Amino acid sequence: EDGRVDVVVHAAGIDDPVAKGHIYEAAEKGEPVDVLSRLEDPTWRRIHAVNLDGTFHILREAVRTMRPIGGGAIVTIGSSAAFDTLVGYPHYASSKAAVHALSQSVAKEVIHFGIRVNTVAPGPVDTAMAARTPESVRKRMNDGSAFGYATAEQLSESICYLASDQASNVVGAVLLSNGGRFTV
């Protein structure tokens, strides 16, 4: 209403259901996972185009909008897979690791304009994307966590914190929200 954009949350992203199928197939046969040799260039580019390029475009537009008003908060969504990837997910893991690096680089650049950029790196979250994951793969993704898949509401609490004034001194952070699967 007042022409201001104070907070931007970029939560769009995709994974690869074909790769999940290959992971499932290998688990069912008791064989090693072989996704990389079957990964097609268009799939590699699509994952990176949505996850990384999409983040770049949102960051750029958010900064262009926030800079004239003197500040704001931007929260991007990365992934714990950037640190502790599931075997067979090189394209997803690399796209999300790049989201972390991009967000941190932009954070250092734009803090001088009063704009804070931070990232939430969730583990598995119970979303429509996760619902396409075969049960045996879901089980492997759940290993190491007492909490299982996070809810969207749990993830939103981390996002809201980073967007809030309570995080006014938090810049360029990657906040793990992974139910204790691992720590960094």
Residue 67 has pLDDT above 90, yes or no: yes
106 in any annotated domain: yes
Q: 16 φ, ψ to 5°?
A: -125, 100
Q: How many domains does the chain contain in total? A: 1
User: Which listed residue (24, 89, 92, 149) is catalytic?
Assistant: 92
* Closest by CA position to 100, among listed 58, 55, 57, 141: 55
Give me the domain span that covers residue 79. Answer: 7-177
Coil, strand or helix at 54 = helix
Q: pLDDT digits over 137-161, tens only?
A: 556 555 555 566 667 788 889 999 9
Q: pLDDT digits over 91-119, tens only?
A: 999 999 999 999 999 999 999 999 999 99
25 in any annotated domain: yes
Active site residue 161: no
1 in any annotated domain: no
What is d(CA 177, CA 180) in angstroms, rounded to the nearest whole number?
8
